[in-house]
Structure 1
Amino acid sequence: MAGDCNGRRRQRPNILITGTPGTGKSTTASALAEATNLRHICIGDLVKEKNLHSGWDDELECYIIDEDLVCDELEDVMEGGGNIVDYHGCDFFPERWFDRVVVLQTENSILYDRLTKRGYSGTKLTNNIECEIFQVLLDEARDSYREEIVVALQSNTIEDISNNVTSLTDWIRTWQP
């Protein structure tokens, strides 16, 4: 149901783009936002800008996200619709927020190269490669959202990303609340 708890219906869809770091979430979300005039919300940036975390994890070299604060921050924006949320996790977002959940997937050798170019090493690199191998985020999405709104898309090349943006743009244009 594309609506909020007050029975109002969104006029534009909300999309979650998730996947292991390095699968092209931000690139895809930015291009899709540009093509559709939907708002791109990068959760990592939001967490930093609004201090929606409980500190820094030295081993994984990232902020420890406060999921409740993130959800509180986004509630009104998500009710309004027209958002593309970009984050490497998905199980803490309310199911009612999303009309489509996109899980980007990348071949392991390509992902390894992308992550090492970003400076990932040690535990952080291993954890992310294993996450992709075992399709952790696809399973998380399927466990957290209705099966019919979850779609897995390959994101190995620029052409894949372009095709994904085109197919998602077409979906947005035909979406009905």
Structure 2
Amino acid sequence: MKKIITSIIIMFLGISMTMPMVFGEVKLYGANGLLFDINEYYGYLNDGTYDAYDFMYFLSVNGTEYYSPSGIYTTELGGRQVVLPVVNISGLNVQRKIFVPSTENWARYLEIIHNPTGSPITANVSVYGNLGSDYNTYILRTSDGDSDLEATDFWAVTDDFGDENGGVGSDPSLAHVWDGPKGKDHID
């Protein structure tokens, strides 16, 4: 049996969060009242404060979106990690965990994909969605120092039109981290 774990860390710059349970979505608030609103059926971020997201961070395995019909979730790590149920997609057990530490300013998406069979299963895994900045999204910087998103990058910083030249955009700057040079199992 092989377990593949990938993670995405979403940083909403300058924010710490708490997490009350609410039917339909899990709301994570930053120190300044900024919101991460996680859909408890799909696990995506709905909108957030200041239009940071517009249904961002869907998970798809072989073209099928992760979806928990019950919408029931649990928590771990002192209530700081939302655990969505295991769903079977294309013969793989798929689960999402979203962690928000009380002492830091970011959220981590952990996509756990487990092959319960003794045979290899090839899967195309995608994490996708729409940032609040929509068609005005600019990549300000990537892990190799430029602003071109490439398969070899580990992270990227995005913002909306205006901020990249010292102007003022309406949506917050976001950092997206999906891998790292010291990661045990890199994304292929």
Q: TM-score, structure 2 length as denominator? A: 0.22
Structure having the higher helix fraction is: 1
Structure having the higher strand fraction is: 2
